[in-house]
Chain A
């Protein structure tokens, strides 16, 4: 079953603006990951944050993790049209499996 839930389901912003997506999960995790999926393509790993980390950066991406609230957020700064995609969070309880949410569809308007 899908454990992660992203919010919002869809987001439309202007190029140059920041985009924030949220994810909630239900059980204790070892790490939480974010993936991007362009239309008609497979998922691509963006960033992984471990349960003992609170914030992580990668280029224009910033991920936060609040284990007390069982939530994470993905911030994309200075968005570009090429950032248009669906974004998924995936939680890991420490096994090989990941539990994916249903995704946030981001549209960046040029």
Chain B
């Protein structure tokens, strides 16, 4: 398996522009997570999906952020309009907690998208 795939790897945009980040989870994984990582705040969970359904979006900073998972193999995180304070590395991770002999919710992370908003 290729692992979790994210695109783009780097994104530089200007304030006010729309940004769309993409993620392809590991095939067969039924949980998908979007995280944001900054020096100041560390790793923050933004939203997670189970079986394509958003379960907890309490970490989404504000209405400018939205996430979708139209099918089991694709998810997007959209920021509209973007602001300089959104600059961060955004990670997607997937998991299949019941694939083993017990509950094992190890998460597999993608390489991240480094977003810079000027």
A residues at B contact (CB < 8 Å): 2, 30-31, 33, 35, 41-45, 48, 50, 88, 90, 92, 94-98, 100-103
How far, in angstroms, from A30 to B55 measured CA to CA in the complex?
20
How far, in angstroms, from A103 to B111 measured CA to CA in the complex?
18
**Considering only CB atoms, which chain A residue lies closest to B30 in the complex?**
A96
Which of B55, B106, B112 is the one whose CB lies under 8 Å from A41?
A: B112
List 18 contacting pairs A-B, 8 Å CB cutoff, sorted by A.
A30-B103, A31-B105, A41-B112, A42-B109, A43-B43, A43-B107, A43-B109, A45-B108, A48-B106, A88-B43, A90-B107, A94-B103, A95-B105, A97-B33, A97-B56, A100-B43, A102-B43, A103-B42
B residues at A contact (CB < 8 Å): 4, 31, 33, 42-45, 48, 50, 55-56, 91, 93, 95, 97, 102-112
Which of B4, B105, B109, B110 is the one whose CB lies under 8 Å from A96?
A: B105
Which of A31, A33, A41, A96 is the one whose CB lies under 8 Å from B50?
A: A96
| Number of residue pairs A-B, CB distance < 8 angstroms | 55
- Which one of B48, B103, B107, B108 has the highest number of Cβ atoms from chain A below 10 Å of its Cβ? B107
Which of A41, A96, A102 is the one whose CB lies under 8 Å from B42?
A: A102
Contact B110–A42 (Cβ < 8 Å):
yes
